[in-house]
Amino acid sequence: MVQKRLLCPAGVRKIPKQFSWIDQRLVRDHHIDLCSHRAAALYLFLATVADAQGLSYYSDRCLCRRLAMDDNTLTQARQELIGIGLIAHQTPLYQVLAIEGRPSATPIDSRTSGGLHTLRQIFKQLGEATP
């Protein structure tokens, strides 16, 4: 078993007053495995800027600019997250939803999604490329 130790003691995270959080079940229960990297980026942004109820109201134009996406890519990423049950959206509001149970959707297939890959596929490729 790997022994954990601080790599940079001066850089230990402290909870700021504007704290936001990412539920560990996103990874542990494999919800993230269902996301393309674009959907994961959108989720991270929304979870970071959301208030205590998970609400935010960034415009599509602003999200596209901040995430370097075009309108179509943002729409696809948003639909993925809605389909997985991670967010709700009704213009102008986004809500990051509570993660409940195991995901019911199936992973994104890069052959049918315009070349998008799931994070699992990317990490697998990185692992295979690492000596």
Cβ proximity of 65 and 15 under 8 Å: no
Confidence check: pLDDT of 109 > 60: no
Task: Reply yes or no on whether the pLDDT at 104 is more than 50.
Answer: yes
Neighbours of 84 (CB within 10 A): 22
Mean pLDDT of 64-85: 97
pLDDT tens-digit series, residues 117-129: 556 656 666 666 5
pLDDT at 107: 54
Statement: residue 116 has pLDDT above 50: no
Q: Give the tens place of pLDDT for each residue, 7-65.
A: 898 888 787 777 777 888 899 899 999 999 999 999 999 999 999 899 999 999 999 99
The distance from CA 101 to its chain's CA centroid, rounded to whole angstroms, is 17
Residue with tokens 């990297």: 37
- Domain segments of the chain as ranges: 29-98+108-122
Predicted pLDDT of residue 119: 61
pLDDT band at 110 (very low <50, low <70, confident <90, very high): very low
Q: For residue 57, which of 89, 98, 29, 83 has the smallest C-alpha distance?
A: 89
pLDDT-derived band at 114 (thresholds 50, 70, 90) equals: very low
**pTM surpassing 0.95?**
no
Say what the pLDDT of residue 112 is. Answer: 42
Structural fold of domain 29-98+108-122: Arc Repressor Mutant, subunit A (1.10.10)
On whether the CB atoms of residues 39 and 94 are closer than 8 A, the answer is: no
